[in-house]
């Protein structure tokens, strides 16, 4: 399997990331005639390769480009995709670099794209990556280790009002001002370096609740560190430019703001005649899946079909309506 050289980082299979809405994604990207579908599918958030391996198994004539910004996570994907290696290319990179990567691959026929947004449970559950408010680690949260700014940089250097806005807008935290004030007071004594120091401060400030009181603040910090809003927009722009007529885009979001952005993209695309939305409302996981895969409970899937004015073989075949 062709891959970037800097994806080597060992790592045993100590944990599993169960792909969410996997059957729905395969159905959405495979269309009515999955066995006949030919071209490239781009899994731009490859993670451990759970969706990608299911897509490759169900769609025997497609090739898959798998992209992820996290070199550690790509090790899991390479193992999962080994049985399909002749049909797979794996690249380390961000959604915002996808177009440049597609250029180098000469992938002229992109028939499907998947963005399964946010962090993988392999990242969230690893204390040293600094995403968790339940186990102690450095206050880091970078999915791409080449990024310079960590969560600690934001917590220790942003103005109080900017912190409050971040927690409110990116985390939906309605008590954002109290948290921001407490952070600024506390960091005067000592800067924050560890996840639990921040989580404990938030718990002391807000009191315990059913949901851990640091949940929304940590989500907001993760989104800012990884520029998740900007990355999504870059990914959508890549789908707009690279997808063939009849090609399908599937996006799984875990954040209402993100889902609203995807909805807007398809609505505006329909108004221009560039896209046809296949999901008026986002698809959610079945009760069974929610019972066995916690992460699926907040998953929202939207799917759209690219429409280009001169119709292609894919559309004429009628399999992608
Ligand atoms: C939810 S996981 C994907 C899981 C995957 N679908 C699977 O079945 O194993 C999200 C992955 O996307 C990656 N990711 C998030 N934002 C990204 C971006 N802007 N560019 C590239 N990779 C990104 C993360 O590093 C993480 O591995």
Check: CB of residue 156 under 8 Å from CB of residue 149.
Answer: no
Please give the distance, rounded to the nearest whole angstrom, from the Cα atom of residue 199 to the centre of ligand 1. 25
Residue 25 in domain: yes
Q: Are residues 6 and 130 in the same domain?
A: no
Please give the distance, rounded to the nearest whole angstrom, from the Cα atom of residue 207 to the centre of ligand 1. 32
Q: Are residues 136 and 216 in the same domain?
A: yes
Residue 149 in domain: yes
Task: Give dist(CA 42, CA 29) in Å, integer.
Answer: 10
For residue 240, CA distances in Å to 4, 103, 111, 261, 269 come to 26, 15, 12, 14, 9
Residue 204 in domain: yes
261 burial (CB, 10 Å; 0-12 / 13-18 / 19+) is middle
Residue 284 in domain: yes
Residue owning the nearest CA to atom 2 of ligand 1: 120
**Which pTM value belongs to this model?**
0.91
Residue owning the nearest CA to atom 13 of ligand 1: 45
Per-position b or e across 274-307, b if 16+ CB within 10 A of its CB: bbbbbbeebbbbeeebbeebebbebbbbbbbbbb
Axis-axis angle for helices 160-171, 176-189 (nearest 10): 140
Q: Are residues 207 and 247 in the same domain?
A: no
Q: Are residues 243 and 94 in the same domain?
A: yes
Ligand 1 nearest atom to the CA of residue 94, by list position: 20
Tokens of 81: 């995709």
pLDDT given at position 310: 59
Residue owning the nearest CA to atom 1 of ligand 1: 120
Ligand 1 nearest atom to the CA of residue 227, by list position: 19
Dihedral pair phi/psi, residue 110, rounded to 5°: -95, 115
Spell out which residues line ligand 1, taking CB within 6 angstroms. 17, 19, 45, 47-51, 67-70, 73, 94-95, 116, 118-120, 143, 231
Q: Are residues 132 and 208 in the same domain?
A: yes
CATH number at residue 130: 1.10.150.170
Residue owning the nearest CA to atom 7 of ligand 1: 50
CA 114 to chain centre: 9
Q: Are residues 51 and 95 in the same domain?
A: yes
Residue 255 in domain: yes
Domain count, the chain: 2
Cα–Cα nearest to 21, from 294, 299, 249, 302:
299
Check: CB of residue 120 under 8 Å from CB of residue 73.
Answer: yes
Residues of the domain holding 161: 126-225
Ligand 1 nearest atom to the CA of residue 46, by list position: 5
Residue owning the nearest CA to atom 12 of ligand 1: 45
Local structure of residue 194 (DSSP, 8 states): B
Q: Are residues 10 and 106 in the same domain?
A: yes
Residue owning the nearest CA to atom 27 of ligand 1: 47
Domain closes at, from 170, 197, 225: 225
Please give the distance, rounded to the nearest whole angstrom, from the Cα atom of residue 166 to the centre of ligand 1. 22
| 243-253 and 300-306 strand pairing | antiparallel
Please give the distance, rounded to the nearest whole angstrom, from the Cα atom of residue 208 to the centre of ligand 1. 31
Q: Are residues 100 and 247 in the same domain?
A: yes
Task: Give dist(CA 134, CA 205) in Å, integer.
Answer: 17
Residue owning the nearest CA to atom 15 of ligand 1: 118
Q: What is the residue whose two structure tokens read 């921040």? A: 198
The count of other CB atoms within 10 Å of the CB of residue 65 is 22
pLDDT given at position 1: 59
pLDDT given at position 16: 63
Ligand 1 nearest atom to the CA of residue 114, by list position: 6
Query: pLDDT tens digits, the chain, 321 residues: what are they?
Result: 554 433 333 333 444 678 999 999 999 999 889 999 999 999 999 999 999 999 999 999 999 999 999 999 999 999 999 999 999 999 999 999 999 999 998 878 999 999 999 999 999 999 999 999 999 999 999 999 999 999 999 999 999 999 999 999 999 999 999 999 999 999 999 999 999 999 999 999 999 888 899 999 999 999 999 999 999 999 999 999 999 999 999 999 998 899 999 999 999 999 999 999 999 999 999 999 999 998 899 999 999 999 987 544 444 444 333
Check: CB of residue 317 under 8 Å from CB of residue 245.
Answer: no
Q: Are residues 213 and 281 in the same domain?
A: no
**DSSP string covering 235-283:** HHHHHHHHEEEEEEEEEEESSHHHHHHHHHHHHHHHHHTSEEES-SS-B
CB within 8 A of 266, min separation 6: which ones?
Answer: 275, 277, 302, 304
> Mutate which of 101, 120, 250 to test ligand 1's pocket (most atoms within 8 Å of Cβ)?
120
Please give the distance, rounded to the nearest whole angstrom, from the Cα atom of residue 76 to the centre of ligand 1. 12
Q: Are residues 235 and 110 in the same domain?
A: yes
Residue 321 in domain: no
- Looking at the chain, list the stretches that DSSP marks H as alpha helix, in order from N- to C-terminal side: 22-30, 50-58, 71-81, 98-105, 121-124, 151-157, 160-171, 176-189, 195-206, 215-225, 228-242, 256-272, 287-292, 313-316
Axis-axis angle for helices 195-206, 215-225 (nearest 10): 140
pLDDT tens digit sequence for 268-281: 999 999 999 999 99
Helix (H, G, I), strand (E, B) or coil at 106: coil
């Amino acid at each position: 399997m062709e891959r970037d050289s800097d994806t080597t980082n060992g790592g045993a299979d100590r944990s599993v990331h169960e792909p969410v809405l996997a059957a729905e994604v395969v159905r959405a990207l495979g269309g009515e005639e999955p066995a006949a579908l030919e071209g490239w599918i781009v899994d731009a958030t490859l993670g451990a390769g759970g969706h990608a391996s299911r897509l490759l198994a169900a769609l025997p004539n497609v090739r898959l480009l798998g992209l992820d910004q996290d070199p550690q996570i790509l090790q899991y994907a390479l193992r999962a995709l080994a049985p399909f290696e002749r049909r797979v290319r794996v690249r380390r990179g961000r959604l915002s670099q996808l177009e440049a990567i597609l250029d180098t691959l000469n992938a002229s026929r992109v028939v499907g794209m998947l963005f399964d947004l946010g962090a993988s449970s392999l990242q969230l559950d690893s204390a040293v990556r600094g995403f968790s408010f339940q186990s102690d680690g450095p206050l880091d949260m970078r999915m791409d280790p080449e990024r310079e700014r960590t969560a600690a940089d934001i917590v220790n250097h942003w103005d109080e009002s900017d912190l409050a806005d971040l927690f409110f807008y990116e985390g939906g935290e309605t008590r954002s001002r109290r948290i921001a004030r407490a952070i600024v007071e506390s960091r005067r004594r000592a800067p924050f370096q560890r996840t639990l120091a921040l989580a404990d401060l938030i718990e002391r400030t807000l009191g315990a609740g059913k949901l851990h009181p640091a949940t929304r603040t940590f989500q907001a910090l993760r989104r800012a560190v990884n520029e998740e809003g900007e990355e999504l927009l870059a990914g959508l722009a890549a789908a707009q430019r690279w997808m063939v007529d009849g090609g399908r885009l599937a996006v799984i979001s875990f954040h209402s703001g993100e889902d609203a952005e995807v909805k807007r993209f398809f609505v505006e695309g329909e108004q221009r005649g560039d896209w046809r939305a296949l999901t008026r409302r986002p698809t959610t996981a079945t009760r069974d899946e929610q019972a066995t895969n916690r992460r699926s409970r907040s998953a929202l899937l939207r799917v759209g079909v690219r429409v280009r004015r001169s119709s292609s073989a894919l559309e004429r075949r009628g399999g992608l309506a």
